[in-house]
Amino acid sequence: MKTIIIDDDATARLLIKKMCNAYSEIEIVSEFSNAVDAIKFLNKNDIEVIFLDIHMPLLSGFDFIKTLKKATKIILTSSDENYALEAFEYSKVVDYLVKPISKKRFEKSIHKLKSVIIKDSLVRDDSIFKEKQRNELYVSIERRLVRVPFSEINFVEAKGDYVKLKTDDESYIIHSTLKKIEAKLPSDNFLKIHRSFVINLSKIIDIKDNSVLLQKEIIPISKSRQIELITRLNIL
């Protein structure tokens, strides 16, 4: 964890640095006697953790926090315990250490810091996974799962107890229903234009009479779906 220390007291910075040296995962990359110099540094460097004193010249610790835009974790330090309640109003604040800081209390703070970072990482990974889920689906073909991005799907056709999912290069026959597949597709890009067909609107090449052309496939349009289709298209 790349870390900086901001404290106008040189002795306080030295003590925090010594305690941090006991943890291999903490890398002290710089230290500052005021928040203004730290802001200049942060404009050019990415830091994960900041040990921050509250009472400093030029800019207080709380005012400094308000300038931060990145998701940096902060451990506040102060000789005054009366600011603890205010400190936790800031989402970036992980802990509040009252000076003089004992080794045991510091250890507890680092443990809390690592727990918060791990939790944030899991949330971030889960968000990335969910974002991917919103852009693709997996079809079960011969005991394997095949990834199919939504952007590559031309249309889905109902065929009895099965559906055919057609892309530019492949056709997949899946044991499912059109209704079930339609529910998984983003409604912004896909539209059911016939009781047997759901199409990708971005794949339309041509529309003539009661049919649409997708790649080399001609798909019928139900009369009841014609108006909805037309209203979804960007027509000049």
Domain ranges of the chain: 2-132, 136-232
* pTM reported for the whole predicted model: 0.56
- Say if residue 127's pLDDT is above 60: no
Architecture of domain 136-232: Beta Barrel (2.40)
Check if 2-132 and 136-232 are the same fold: no
Q: Which has the higher per-residue pLDDT, 66 or 134?
A: 66
Half-sphere exposure of 112 (CA within 13 A, CB side): 14
DSSP conformational letter for 102: P
Contact 225, 196 (CB under 8 A): no
User: Which long-range contacts (C-beta less than 8 Å, at least 24 apart) are formed by 74-79?
Assistant: 74/49, 74/50, 75/49, 75/50, 75/51, 75/109, 75/113, 76/52, 77/7, 77/12, 77/16, 77/51, 77/52, 77/53, 77/101, 78/53, 78/54, 79/55
Mean pLDDT along residues 148-162: 93
Mean pLDDT along residues 215-231: 90
Contact 16, 101 (CB under 8 A): yes
2-132 CATH pick, 3.30.530.20, 1.20.1050.10, 3.40.50.2300, 3.40.50.720: 3.40.50.2300
Q: What is the mean pLDDT of the chain?
A: 89
Mean pLDDT along residues 111-122: 85
CA–CA gap between residue 110 and residue 67 (Å, rounded) = 24
- Say if residue 125's pLDDT is above 80: no
